[in-house]
Amino acid sequence: MNISFTKSGRLKPKPSSEALGFGKLTTDYMFIMDYDAGRGWYDPKIVPYSPIPLDPSTCVLHYGQGIFEGLKAYRSPDGRVLLFRPEENARRLNNSCDRTCIPPLDENDILEAITELVRLEKDWIPSAEGTSLYIRPFIIATDPFLGVHPSRTYMFIIILGPVGNYYPTGINPIKILVEDEYVRAVAGGTGEAKTMGNYAASLKAQDKAEKLGCIQVLWLDGIHRKYVEEVGSMNVFFKIGGKVITPALSGSILPGITRMSSMELLKKHGYGVEERALSIDEILHAHKTGTLEESFGTGTAAVISPIGELLYKGSNYMVNNGAIGPVTSMLYDTLTGIQSGRLPDEFGWTFEVK
């Protein structure tokens, strides 16, 4: 791919790592590539970060034909720049394209676009523990047309921003609301694709959870309101009676790369992982009988997030007395260690940007 480059006249000051938070800052440049039904994907370019003008009738603004990805670049102690399984993000981006009638990209082009931009912006990668450069690739439908129809033009854009901890509270156990009124997705819908609309659908429940003092929502399935699915933007795991259980990918759950990696690590550490339907009743029963040992969410943004308390139908249920359990901390330490190059990567998961 021949990526053209426009130099920025003025660079932004780099923040100190204490001030990072999540999603507040963007870097100096962005990648853009256009699509037209006659030409395919064309004109890849890296340009100064700036607003993009859109016609008020633009497709994505009305019907939400848009998808995204999220991954991170890490600075290793010896100064290397590492990505974590980026080829999985490229593959998933194309799966999300397929579900939303967006024309697929060449997965090598996606990786090349990410690595070119990250290489250019490598001075933005913070090095303090728990920090990284968040990478947000996304695609929007750009036809100026109010009819409901797949767009004939698109933009593929990548933006970057330095990040610290996802939750202001750091890696502390979170309290979550088990949501039995609103649903995120059903099989046959768009739950297994990373579409923008899934997030629009989640906001009302998230708002309710925050009002009840919770940080996230634990979604139940949309048909029986009984089986656990995901926690906000994370996949979810429960450890019950020595066994680690995560909901099977039933069509309404996003197939997380952190989920998949956690399962591989758990197997290596001798834990059987059951991928199956897990009902809220089974979890509450385990709580009652003292076998609910740990629970955590997995996702790129927060990596591993311990769950310390559930709120369900007005009652509170503590998990592991609200403390971080041993499996949760093993996964957090191992994953963040591999991702940031502090631990050896025997799986071949890291991808160095040279």
Contact between 194 and ligand PLP per CB under 6 A: yes
Tokens at 288, concatenated = 């009652």
Contact between 256 and ligand PLP per CB under 6 A: yes
Contact between 233 and ligand PLP per CB under 6 A: yes
Report phi then psi at 17, rounded to 5: -70, -15
Size of the site for ligand PLP (CB under 6 A): 14
Strand 303-312 vs strand 315-318: parallel, antiparallel, or unpaired? Answer: antiparallel
Contact between 339 and ligand PLP per CB under 6 A: no
Contact between 299 and ligand PLP per CB under 6 A: yes
> Which residue of 27, 153, 190, 300 would you call a contact of ligand PLP, by CB under 6 A?
300
Give the closest residue to 155 by CA, choosing from 250, 77, 253, 51: 51
Q: How far is the CB of 24 from ligand PLP (least distance, A)?
A: 19
- Is residue 171 within 8 A of residue 165, CB to CB? The reply is yes
Number of H helices, E strands in the chain: 7, 18
Q: How far is the CB of 242 from ligand PLP (least distance, A)?
A: 25
**Distance of alpha carbon 187 from alpha carbon 223, whole angstroms:** 9
Q: Is 265 helix (H, G, I), strand (E, B) or coil?
A: helix
Instruction: Name the residue nearer to ligand PLP (CB basis): 29 or 237.
Output: 237
Contact between 190 and ligand PLP per CB under 6 A: no
Contact between 66 and ligand PLP per CB under 6 A: no
Q: Name the segment binding ligand PLP (CB under 6 A); options: 28-36, 161-169, 210-218, 297-305.
A: 297-305
Instruction: Name the residue nearer to ligand PLP (CB basis): 175 or 194.
Output: 194
Burial 16-47 (b: 16+ CB within 10 A, else e): eeeebbbeebbbbbbbbbbbeeeeebeebbbe
Q: How far is the CB of 8 from ligand PLP (least distance, A)?
A: 29
Contact between 195 and ligand PLP per CB under 6 A: no
Contact between 230 and ligand PLP per CB under 6 A: yes
Q: Name the segment binding ligand PLP (CB under 6 A); options: 96-104, 167-175, 255-263, 310-318.
A: 255-263
> Which residue of 46, 254, 324, 338 would you call a contact of ligand PLP, by CB under 6 A?
254
Instruction: Name the residue nearer to ligand PLP (CB basis): 46 or 254.
Output: 254
**Distance of alpha carbon 319 from alpha carbon 193, whole angstroms:** 30
Q: Amino acid identity of 251?
A: G
Listed in sequence order, the residues at least 6 apart from 270 whose beta carbon sits closer than 8 Å to its beta carbon are none
Q: How far is the CB of 231 from ligand PLP (least distance, A)?
A: 8
Q: Diameter of the chain by CA atoms?
A: 64
**Distance of alpha carbon 111 from alpha carbon 51, whole angstroms:** 24
Binding site for ligand PLP (CB under 6 A): 70, 194, 230, 233-235, 254, 256-259, 298-300
